[in-house]
C-alpha cells in the first residue's frame, strides 16, 4: 500500500505522457485524476496508521550502490512527519488535477499537462518519503525537471522559454550547494542514511554541522524561491494559473517543513536531546561495555525503544552490582537475573553459572543501537560494528570496562600482557580500535584468532603495560585486577 502512494502518480504520468494519443484527452483525465484520488485514500489510511497510531513503516526495495565504503538502497520511510506532509501534497495536487479537467478543457495539449503535473506530484512524494539523502535527491531533481516543463508548457512563447531557463539555472545553483553539502556529509559521517547520520550528529563538531546545514539550506532557498535565490519566481508566472497555485503551495510547504522540523520530537530524532544529556561517565562506560560483552536490542522497534543487556559469569556479580548502582541506574531501571533461576521449580536444584544484566527499554538505546549495529540484508539481522565516531566516545574509562568485559591477562611465555577479545569485529575495525589505543600512547599488535572467519584479537605490547595499568587501575573493579596481572 505504501509504495502505491508513490507509484500511482508516477504511472499515471508515464501513461498520460507516452500513451496520450492512444488514450485520448478523456482517458488521460480519468487515469491521472483516478490515480490521485486513490493515492489520497491511501495516504489517509497511512496517516491513520503512522501518524495517529504511531507505527512508522520502512521499505527497502533494492540495493542502489553497494561498494566497500558506501551502501545505498532504494528505500522509503513513512513516519509522522512524512505522512503529514504527504497528506497536504496529495490533497492539494488531487484538487488541482480535478480543477484542471474543466480549466483546460479546450487546450489541445492537455495530456502533456497532466503528465507533467503528475510527475511533479511523484517527485514531491519521493522527496518527502525518501529513506536516505540520495533517494531524496532523486525526488528533488525530479521536481526541478517538472518545474521546467510546467513553466515552459507553452514553449512557443519566448518569455516562457526564458522563464523556464532562469528557473532551471537558479535551481542548478542551489543543487550545487546541496551537492557540496552531501559530499561533506559523506566525508564526515561516511553514510547517507538518515538514521545513522542523525544518531551521530550530537558527537560532531558544531561548526561542521553548521556549515553542512548552511549548504543544504542554500539548496532549499533556491528550490523554494527565497531571498537571495528568488529571482526565478516572478518569471514562473508565465506558467498556467493552476501551476502558479501549485508553486505557491509548494513554497509554503517548504517553509512549514523547516519550521516543523526544528521542533520534530518523534521517532529517532527524539533521542538527540537525550544523547546530549548523557553524563560523559555513562557514555564512556557504555562504550567500553559495547566493545566487550554488552549488546543493545530493539525490543519495541515500532515505539523506537531499545534496551541494554549483557551476560557475565557467576564470579562477576559484584561487578554487575557496580554497573547497576554506579552507572546505569542513574539513567534507567535495571535488573540482574541469575541463570539458572533457582526460584523456578525446574531450576531449584541447579547451580547458578551466569548472571544476566538488563535495563528497561529507553529511547537512548535506540540511538546507540544505530551507532553500534548495521543491518545485514542477507541474514535479515543486525551485525555489531565499531561506530565511525568511536574516537569521540572512547576514553580510559571505556578501556577499563572493555578489559573487564572482554579482556584477559596472558601470563604464558615472556610476554605477560593483556589481550582484548575482538572476535566479533573484522580486521579493519580492529585496526581502528588499535588507533584508539595509540591515541592513549598504547602500542598493540593484531593477533589472528581464526583467519577463515576473519577473526582477530588485539594484544597490548608488553612495553605499554605500565601505561595501561596507570590509566585503567583507578576505574577497574577490585574483582578484575587479575586481568592486569595484579
pLDDT tens series, the chain, 486 aa? 788 888 899 998 899 888 888 888 888 889 989 999 999 999 899 888 887 877 778 888 888 777 767 777 888 888 887 888 888 888 888 888 888 888 777 777 888 888 888 888 888 888 888 888 888 888 888 888 887 887 777 777 777 777 778 777 777 777 888 888 888 888 877 778 777 777 677 667 778 888 888 888 777 777 665 666 666 666 665 555 455 445 445 544 544 444 444 333 333 333 345 455 567 788 888 999 999 889 888 765 545 567 889 988 888 888 888 888 888 887 788 888 888 877 777 677 788 888 899 988 877 787 788 788 887 766 667 888 888 778 878 889 999 999 998 888 887 766 789 999 888 888 888 888 998 899 889 999 988 876 666 788 999 998 899 999 999 999 998 888 888 888
- Domains for the chain: give ranges and CATH numbers: 2-269 (no CATH), 278-484 (3.10.28.10)
Residue 415 main-chain phi, psi, to 5 deg: -85, 90
> For position 234, what pLDDT does the model report?
61
Task: Report the distance separating Cα 43 and Cα 92, nearest Å.
Answer: 12
Task: Report the distance separating Cα 83 and Cα 411, nearest Å.
Answer: 60
> For position 399, what pLDDT does the model report?
93
Q: What is the pLDDT of residues 77-98, one digit of tens each?
A: 888 878 888 888 888 888 888 8
> For position 282, what pLDDT does the model report?
83
Mind spelling out the 3-state secondary structure of the chain? CHHHHHHHHHHHHHHHHHCHHHHHHHHHHHHHHHHHHHHHHHHHHHHHHHHHCCCCEEEEEEEEEECCCCEEEEEEEECHHHHHHHHHHHHHHHHHHHHHHHHCCCCCCHHHHHHHHHHHHHHHHHHHHECEHHHHHHHHHHHHHHHHHHHCCCCCCHHHHHHHHHHHHHHHHHHHHHHHHHHHHHHHHCCCEHHHHHHHHHHCCHHHHHHHHHHHHHHHHHHCCCCCCCCHHHHHHHCCHHHHHHHHHHHHHHHHHHHHHHCCCCHHHHHHHHHHCCCHHHHHHHHHHHHCCCEEEEEEHHHCEEEEEEEEEHHHHHHHHHHHHHCHHHCCCEEEEEECCCCCHHHCCCCCCEEEEEECCEHHHHHHHHHHEEEECCCCEEEECCCCCHHHCCCHHHHHHHHHHHEEEECCCCCCEEEECCCCCCHHHHHHHHHHHHHCCCCEEEEEEECCCCEEEEEECHHHHHHHHHHHCCCCCHHHHHHHCC
Task: Report the distance separating Cα 79 and Cα 265, nearest Å.
Answer: 12
Amino acid at each position: 500500500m505504501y509504495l502505491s502512494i508513490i507509484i500511482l502518480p508516477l504511472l499515471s504520468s508515464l501513461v498520460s505522457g507516452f500513451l496520450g494519443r492512444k488514450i485520448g484527452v478523456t482517458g488521460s483525465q480519468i487515469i491521472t485524476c483516478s490515480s490521485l484520488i486513490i493515492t489520497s485514500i491511501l495516504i489517509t489510511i497511512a496517516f491513520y496508521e503512522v501518524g495517529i497510531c504511531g507505527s512508522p513503516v520502512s521499505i527497502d526495495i533494492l540495493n542502489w550502490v553497494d561498494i566497500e565504503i558506501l551502501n545505498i538502497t532504494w528505500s522509503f520511510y513513512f513516519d509522522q512527519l512524512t505522512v503529514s506532509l504527504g497528506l497536504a501534497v496529495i490533497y492539494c495536487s488531487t484538487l488541482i488535477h480535478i480543477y484542471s479537467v474543466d480549466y483546460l478543457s479546450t487546450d489541445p495539449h492537455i495530456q502533456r499537462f497532466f503528465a507533467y503535473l503528475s510527475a511533479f506530484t511523484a517527485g514531491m512524494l519521493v522527496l518527502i518519503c525518501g529513506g536516505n539523502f540520495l533517494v531524496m535527491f532523486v525526488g528533488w531533481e525530479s521536481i526541478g525537471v517538472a518545474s521546467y516543463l510546467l513553466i515552459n508548457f507553452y514553449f512557443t512563447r519566448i518569455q516562457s522559454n526564458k522563464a523556464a531557463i532562469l528557473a532551471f539555472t537558479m535551481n542548478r545553483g542551489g543543487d550545487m550547494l546541496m551537492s557540496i553539502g552531501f559530499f561533506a556529509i559523506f566525508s564526515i559521517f561516511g553514510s547517507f542514511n538518515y538514521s545513522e547520520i542523525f544518531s551521530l550528529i550530537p558527537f560532531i563538531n558544531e561548526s561542521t554541522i553548521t556549515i553542512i546545514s548552511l549548504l543544504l539550506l542554500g539548496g532549499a532557498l533556491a528550490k523554494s524561491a527565497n531571498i537571495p535565490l528568488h529571482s526565478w519566481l516572478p518569471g514562473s508566472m508565465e506558467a498556467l494559473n493552476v501551476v502558479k497555485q501549485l508553486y505557491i503551495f509548494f513554497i509554503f510547504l517548504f517553509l512549514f517543513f523547516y519550521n516543523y522540523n526544528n521542533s520534530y520530537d518523534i521517532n529517532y530524532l527524539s533521542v538527540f536531546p537525550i544523547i546530549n544529556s548523557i553524563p560523559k561517565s555513562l557514555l564512556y562506560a557504555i562504550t567500553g561495555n559495547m566493545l566487550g560483552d554488552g549488546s543493545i536490542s530493539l525490543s519495541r522497534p515500532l515505539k523506537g525503544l531499545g534496551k541494554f543487556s549483557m551476560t557475565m559469569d557467576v564470579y562477576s556479580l559484584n561487578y554487575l552490582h557496580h554497573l547497576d548502582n554506579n552507572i546505569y541506574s542513574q539513567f534507567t531501571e535495571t535488573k540482574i537475573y541469575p541463570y539458572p533461576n533457582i526460584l523456578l521449580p525446574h531450576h531449584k536444584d541447579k547451580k547458578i553459572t551466569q548472571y544476566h544484566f538488563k535495563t528497561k527499554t529507553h529511547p537512548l538505546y535506540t540511538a546507540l543501537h544505530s551507532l553500534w549495529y548495521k543491518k545485514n540484508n542477507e541474514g535479515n539481522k543486525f551485525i555489531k560494528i565499531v561506530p565511525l565516531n568511536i574516537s569521540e566516545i572512547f576514553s580510559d574509562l571505556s578501556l577499563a570496562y572493555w578489559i573487564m568485559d572482554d579482556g584477559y591477562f596472558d601470563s604464558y611465555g615472556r610476554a605477560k600482557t593483556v589481550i582484548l577479545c575482538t572476535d566479533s569485529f573484522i580486521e579493519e575495525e580492529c585496526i581502528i580500535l588499535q588507533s584508539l589505543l595509540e591515541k592513549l600512547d598504547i602500542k598493540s599488535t593484531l593477533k589472528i584468532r581464526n583467519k577463515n572467519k576473519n577473526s582477530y584479537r588485539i594484544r597490548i605490547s608488553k612495553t605499554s603495560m605500565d601505561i595501561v595499568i596507570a590509566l585503567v587501575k583507578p576505574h577497574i573493579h577490585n574483582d578484575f585486577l587479575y586481568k592486569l596481572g595484579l
